[in-house]
């Protein structure tokens, strides 16, 4: 594909003007920079000459991984061999003009090749460096390898995804790389926060406004979502057990079988919603039962409630049951697969399913950015699709850096 300048960034995007370098591969760091790029940041993705290994993941069309169309969107792709002095010089030149760097190599890797924080801050003291790894930059496990499954396992999530009493099958993963995505979200949030803190410090007349080093990891990102489990253990020695599709802190909330073999998620969490739900399924007696007057009482008797709701849902298709409950304002939903998402009018109306033109693949569906801001349309967040490997070498190293980088 010819090397051309990208379309201009919409100045109304909130991160327009923020310059970010990505030394990322696979998922966590590239997901963080995708969020930043969707919001308008200039993201220069530095890939090895053969490309990010993620370009080989998933289904392909015309030799290109369709996932990368989304994963690399709104980014500038350049190549650099980090084993060569020229390649390392290119990265240092990019970081000299950047606000931030996002990387997800194993701890110590950048230091070993002369691109650690000390070297980069010597060139650009303002550079915010977000480091994403499996276990973090310190601690006894820092040097162990990790992928997303390890974050789920050690962070406490996989323990909770089992069905109670089921021992013949392993607890399933959630089906996506949730550990990487969470770490990427935290990296994006902390990067923007650090840039804000640096720049506001400079405006206050602080002596330097130096860029911070941010340390994100897969395990901590998952562990941070464990809600009340840590204080429950610390105070009471309680270890929360798997509850399948139920939620131990609220009832009734579960997923129920329907007559067409599909499932319906129902959340009757509040007192008023619970009463409406019980009346609609023909069990006002349960609404009036003193045991069910509070959420704590309903949690203690959740099995009785689940049995009553399931007896009702089994008589209807999932859509019929959903329509009936929505008519009385009870939160519920059929379990959607991706076809359901694409066909649902709400996803379309909110711009969460968009058809875009990918020069490498052709027309392709992209998920919209999950941001809504006045003055911007959903399509404004998708400026171009994932580029070819090194597509922007000439533009970045010629136009943006001019004579700073050896050619």
Residue pLDDT, tens place only, 229-251: 999 999 999 999 998 888 889 99
Burial 290-322 (b: 16+ CB within 10 A, else e): eebeebeebbebbebbbebbbebbeebbbeebb
Per-residue model confidence (pLDDT) at position 407: 36
The helix (run of H) or strand (run of E) holding residue 393 is helix 393-394
| pLDDT for position 123 | 97
> How much is the pLDDT for 95?
98
Residues 66 and 60 sit within 8 Å (Cβ to Cβ)? yes
Percentage with pLDDT > 70 across the chain: 97
Q: What local confidence, expressed as pLDDT, does residue 402 receive?
A: 78
Say if residue 8's pLDDT is above 80: yes
Q: Which of 166, 167, 139, 169 is nearest to 154 (CA)?
A: 139
Residue predicted with more confidence, 3 or 256 = 256
Confidence band of 50 (pLDDT split at 50, 70, 90): very high
Q: Which long-range contacts (CB under 8 A, 24 or more apart) does 273-277 make?
A: 273/329, 273/330, 273/331, 274/298, 276/328, 276/329, 276/330, 277/252, 277/309, 277/325, 277/328, 277/330
- Could you tell me the pTM of the whole model? 0.93
Query: Are the C-beta atoms of 366 and 385 separated by less than 8 Å?
Result: yes
| Higher per-residue pLDDT: 401 or 330 | 330
Lowest mean pLDDT among 215-219, 248-252, 275-279, 335-339: 248-252
Distance between CA atoms of residues 94 and 109, nearest Å: 18
* Rounded Cα gap, residues 278 and 32, in angstroms: 43
| Strands laid side by side in the 128-133 sheet | 75-79, 42-47, 19-23, 100-103, 128-133, 213-217
**Could you tell me which residues are beta bridge partners of residue 65?**
60
DSSP state of 16: T
Q: What is the pLDDT of residues 12-40, one digit of tens each?
A: 999 999 999 999 899 999 999 999 999 99
pLDDT digits (tens, 9 = 90+) for 193-202: 999 999 998 6
Q: What is the band of 406 on the pLDDT scale with cuts at 50, 70, 90?
A: very low
Q: How far apart are the first and last CA of the chain?
A: 20
Average pLDDT value for residue range 216-225: 97
Cβ-based neighbours of 165, under 8 Å, separated by 6 or more: none
Which candidate, 258, 279, 390, places its Cα nearest to that of 333?
258
> Is the backbone peptide bond immediately before 252 cis, with ω within 30 degrees of 0?
yes
Residues in the chain: 407
Using DSSP, state whether 342 is helix, strand or coil.
helix
Question: From residue 234, how far is each of 230, 239, 241, 284 by CA, in Å?
Answer: 6, 10, 16, 39
- Average pLDDT, integer, range 297-311: 97
Radius of gyration of the chain (CA): 25
Here the tokens at position 25 are: 């591969």
The percent of the chain in helix, strand and coil, each rounded to the nearest 5, is: 40, 15, 45
Catalogue the active-site residues. 180
Q: Please state, in angstroms and rounded to a whole number, the distance separating the CA atoms of residues 322 and 250.
A: 20
Q: What is the mean pLDDT of residues 270-287?
A: 97
């Amino acid at each position: 594909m010819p090397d051309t300048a990208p379309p201009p960034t919409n100045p109304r995007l909130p991160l327009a003007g923020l310059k970010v370098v990505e030394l990322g591969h696979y998922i966590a760091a590239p997901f963080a920079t995708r969020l930043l790029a969707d919001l308008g940041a200039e993201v220069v993705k530095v890939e090895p000459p053969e490309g990010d290994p993620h370009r080989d993941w998933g289904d392909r069309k015309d030799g290109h991984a369709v996932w990368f169309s989304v994963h690399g969107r709104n980014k500038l792709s350049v190549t650099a061999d980090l084993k060569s002095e020229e390649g390392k010089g290119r990265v240092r030149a990019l970081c000299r003009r950047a606000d931030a760097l996002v990387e997800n190599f194993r701890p110590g890797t950048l230091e070993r090749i002369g691109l650690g924080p000390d070297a980069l801050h010597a060139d650009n003291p303002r550079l915010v460096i977000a480091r994403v790894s499996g276990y973090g930059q310190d601690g006894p496990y820092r040097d162990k390898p990790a992928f997303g499954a390890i974050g789920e396992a050690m962070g406490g999530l996989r323990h909770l995804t089992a069905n109670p009493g089921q021992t013949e099958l392993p607890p399933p993963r959630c089906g996506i790389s949730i550990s990487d995505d969470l770490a990427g979200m935290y990296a994006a949030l902390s990067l923007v926060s650090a840039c804000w803190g640096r720049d506001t410090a400079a405006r206050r007349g602080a002596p330097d406004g130096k860029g911070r080093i941010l340390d994100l990891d897969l395990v901590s990102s998952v562990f941070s979502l464990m809600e009340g489990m840590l204080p429950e253990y610390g105070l009471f020695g309680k270890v929360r057990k798997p509850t399948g599709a139920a939620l131990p802190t609220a009832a009734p909330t579960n997923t129920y079988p329907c007559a067409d073999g599909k499932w319906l998620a129902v959340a009757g969490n509040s007192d008023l919603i619970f009463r409406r739900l019980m009346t609609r399924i023909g069990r006002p007696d349960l609404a009036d039962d003193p045991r069910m007057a509070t959420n704590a009482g309903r949690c203690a008797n959740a099995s009785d409630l689940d049995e009553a709701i399931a007896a009702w849902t089994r008589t209807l298709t999932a859509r019929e049951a959903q329509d009936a409950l929505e008519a009385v304002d009870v939160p519920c939903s059929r379990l959607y697969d991706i076809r359901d998402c694409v066909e649902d009018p709400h996803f379309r109306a909110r711009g969460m399913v968009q058809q875009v033109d990918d020069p490498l693949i052709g027309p392709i569906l992209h998920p919209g950015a999950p941001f809504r801001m006045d003055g911007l349309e959903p399509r404004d967040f998708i400026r171009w699709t994932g580029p070819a490997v090194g597509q922007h070498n000439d533009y970045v190293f010629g136009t943006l850096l001019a004579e700073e980088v050896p050619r």
